[in-house]
Amino acid sequence: MMNILKSKDRIFLLYGRHPLAVILIAGLLVRLAAVIFSKGWGMFDDHFLVIEPAQSWLDGYDSNRWFPGSGPDTQPRGHSFFYPGLHYLLFLFLESLGMYDPQSKMFAVRLLHALLSLIVVWASYRMADVMSGRKAAVLTGWLMALYWFMPFLSVRNLVEVACIPFLMWGSWMIVRDEKSRYTMASFLLAGLLHGLSCSIRYQVIFFPAGFGLVLFLKEKWRVALVYGLGWLTSFVLIQGVTDLVIWGSPFAEFREYFLHNLTHAANYLTGPWYMYILLLAGILIPPVSLFLLAGWLSVWRRQQIHFLPVLLFLVFHSVFPNKQERFILPVVPYLILLGVVGYMRWLNSVRSLRLQRLISAGWVFFWVLNLAFLPVFSLNYSKRAKVESMVYLSDYQDIRVLLLEDSNSGDTQMSPRFYLDQWAAEIYVSKSHPADSLNPVFIEDPEHRPGFLLFYGTERLEHRVAQLRLLYPEIVPETVIRPGFIDRVLYRLNPLNANQTVTIYRNKAVFPYPKEISHEPRRG
């Protein structure tokens, strides 16, 4: 008992002297839990636009047909090669060490991203300390470390999240010098870091644009030019040179990205202009979310250099028709940071005892709810059914064709072939591509018949199986892979979250016998 008390005393002593160290350790522990348990991916883009292309390039294949010569009349499609390219280099390194298992590779990816995300906790603490003092820094640090969605997002491959550490690091370089004197080296480094973040996610260009604008308005000409030079150097070297080598034209992908979004803005998910305000008010958990949003608005004069970039980013995404929840993620840490700074300033002026009690009750409600959500999402195996169906099939050798059936939906499913560890062709059956419209070659040619048929969802399953049995009479049930708890909840809330049960049928005409279960890596 005495040893326990002594340990607690040591922790409190350490926290009193070095609160940032304790906050970073707490943030790391929760993120390590996410590294271990939160497998899969969050949204379409963080797997199919990052992991799949990177591994396919390593295997001498181009899954998304991004490179010249990968398909007929291949053209730039508006994708930065930088972030997937880093994963290509990582997978190349891991395979050189003998690591071929996809789940092991993704463990390494999640671990690296979790460690990188701690930069956000560290930088936001430091910035809050300079802006408002120790109390604001501690609160900001705990929020960044333990907000219910932070650990889950920190181990994902979303470009909207991966760009944040470099944004925040560059911002810290600016804040560090702002109250002493403007150091050219710091602003050069800030520009380089922000240019790197823009190469990961093009749309965060509003941040360096806002920083530069404020510096010019303050007539800090030399500092603004040095910052702009840093940003330009980074962006040109990463984007311009890469596209010049691949396409023979600098900024070919960036140009196509801009033109595509300008032309097809209304072709994706749309929403009202206030959608992101409601989203932020919800995910940051009221009433604390209202404290933070009001606090952010209150610092518009004192923290112009960070307020304006956030405002530009929010206004653009609120006005632009294409609205997806992940688009707003780069701005969230800035809203938390500036929101706490503004909130703490307001809190110091509150004299009403009743209002103070209401505020305290609001924080108690927030922390109870937040800490209840935190383990649920941090340990969530996202898209479990899709991943595990590929892991299951990966023990079969030489799968040439997969048939993915989701005739309950108008959309076509895609299988995460990274986990299959082989690049089988995919054919789709959906409402828009019914079974009777299949190319005859996939029915008549033995070389092109699907070895496995994956049925997404359990609705009308017997009827759907019977329809395809008319084309493939030798299909037999193989196994059923069920989604995780959160996946099931999200699917019930919105069927657009395609997290259904996957029922796998084996085509005996292609694979006569069931697999021998093996946990050894297929390659290497």
**pLDDT tens-digit map of 162-212:** 999 999 999 999 998 766 566 788 999 999 999 999 999 999 999 999 999
Q: Please give the pLDDT value at position 521.
A: 44
As a whole number of Å, the CA-based R_g of the chain is 25
Query: For residues 416 and 424, is the Cβ–Cβ distance under 8 A?
Result: no
In the structure, what pLDDT confidence band is assigned to residue 524 with cuts at 50, 70 and 90? very low
Q: Is the dihedral of CA 515, 521, 523, 524 positive or negative?
A: negative
Total of domains in the chain: 2
Taking 90 as the threshold, does the pLDDT of residue 32 lie above it?
Answer: yes
- Helix, strand, or coil (residue 427): strand
In a domain, 36, yes or no: yes
Poorest-pLDDT segment among 68-77, 429-438, 515-524: 515-524
pLDDT digits (tens, 9 = 90+) for 211-221: 999 988 888 88
Q: Is residue 329 part of a domain?
A: no
Work out the pLDDT band at 13, boundaries 50, 70, 90.
Answer: confident
Residue 330 pLDDT > 60: yes
Q: For 251, left (φ over 0), alpha (ψ -120 to 50), or beta?
A: left
* Three-class DSSP category at 456: strand
Residue 283 has pLDDT above 50, yes or no: yes
First vs last C-alpha separation in the chain? 52
The burial of 326, by beta-carbon neighbours within 10 Å (0-12 exposed, 13-18 middle, 19 or more buried), is given as middle
pLDDT at 520 over 50: no
User: What is the Cα–Cα distance from 390 to 368, expressed in whole angstroms?
Assistant: 38
- Give the Cα separation of 191 and 204 in Å (integer): 13
Q: Considering the domain boundaries, does residue 469 fall inside one?
A: yes
Residues with Cβ within 8 Å of 50's Cβ and at least 6 positions away in sequence, in order, are: 83, 84, 87, 157, 159
- Least confident range from 257-261, 305-309, 403-407: namely 257-261
Q: What is the pLDDT of residue 518?
A: 42
- For residue range 411-440, what is the model confidence (pLDDT) as tens digits? 677 899 999 999 999 999 988 888 888 988
| pLDDT number for residue 269 | 67
pLDDT tens for residues 476-513?
A: 999 999 998 888 887 776 666 677 899 999 999 999 98
Distances (CA, A) of 303 to 210, 295, 310, 336: 12, 11, 11, 14
Q: 353-378 vs 288-298: helix axis angle to the nearest 10? A: 110
Determine contact, residues 42/382, Cβ cutoff 8 Å: yes
Residue 481 in any domain: the answer is yes
Q: Is residue 321 part of a domain?
A: no
Q: Among 147, 162, 177, give the residue marking a domain's end.
A: 162
Which whole number is the average pLDDT over 296-309?
94
How crowded is residue 110: how many other Cβ atoms within 10 Å of its Cβ?
22
Q: What percent of the chain has pLDDT over 90?
A: 74
- 8-state DSSP, 357: H
Residue with tokens 């097809």: 264
Q: Which amino acid is at 12?
A: F
For residues 73-106, one letter each, b for 16 or more C-beta atoms within 10 angstroms of the residue's C-beta and e for the rest, the string is: eeebebbbbbbbbebbebbeebbeeebbbbeebb
| Contact call for residues 402 and 424 (beta carbons, < 8 A) | yes
pLDDT at 494: 66
Quote the crossing angle between the two packed helices 102-132 and 332-347, to the nearest 10°.
30
Residue 39 structure tokens = 């497998």
Burial-class residue 6 by CB neighbours within 10 Å (0-12, 13-18, 19+): exposed
> Average per-residue pLDDT in the chain?
91
Confidence check: pLDDT of 247 > 70: yes
How high is the pLDDT of residue 105?
Answer: 98
pLDDT confidence tier of residue 519, bands split at 50, 70 and 90: very low
Three-class DSSP labels, 16-39: HHCHHHHHHHHHHHHHHHHHHHCC
Position 262 scores a pLDDT of 80
**DSSP code of 429?**
E
Residue from 161, 153, 151 nearest 31 by CA? 151
The amino acid occupying position 488 is R
Q: Judge whether residue 299 has pLDDT over 60.
A: yes
* Mean pLDDT calculated for residue range 448-469: 94
> Which of 473, 413, 475, 406 is CA-nearest to residue 435?
406
Q: For position 480, what pLDDT does the model report?
A: 96
Mean pLDDT along residues 231-253: 94
Sheet of 475-481, strands arranged across: 425-430, 401-406, 452-456, 502-507, 475-481
**482: which 2 tokens?**
């069920």
* Confidence band of 24 (pLDDT split at 50, 70, 90): very high
Single residue among 162, 179, 204 that ends a domain in this structure: 162
Note the pLDDT of residue 410. 64
Give percent of the chain with pLDDT exceeding 70.
93
| Domain assignment present for 119 | yes
Q: How many Å separate Cα 8 from the centre of its chain?
A: 36
- Tell me whether residue 291 is in a domain: no
* Closest residue by Cα to residue 270 from 315, 233, 317: 317
Between 494 and 515, the higher pLDDT residue:
515
Question: What average pLDDT does the segment 33-50 reach?
Answer: 95
Nearest Cα residue to 175 out of 136, 119, 125, 217: 125
The answer to whether the beta carbons of residues 503 and 454 sit under 8 Å apart is: yes
Mean pLDDT of 26-40: 97
φ, ψ at 64 (rounded to 5°): -100, 5
Per the structure, the complete domain to which residue 103 belongs is given by: 21-162
Residue 138, in any domain of the structure:
yes
How far is C-alpha 395 from the geometric centre of its chain's CA atoms?
29
Q: Residue 485 has what pLDDT?
A: 84
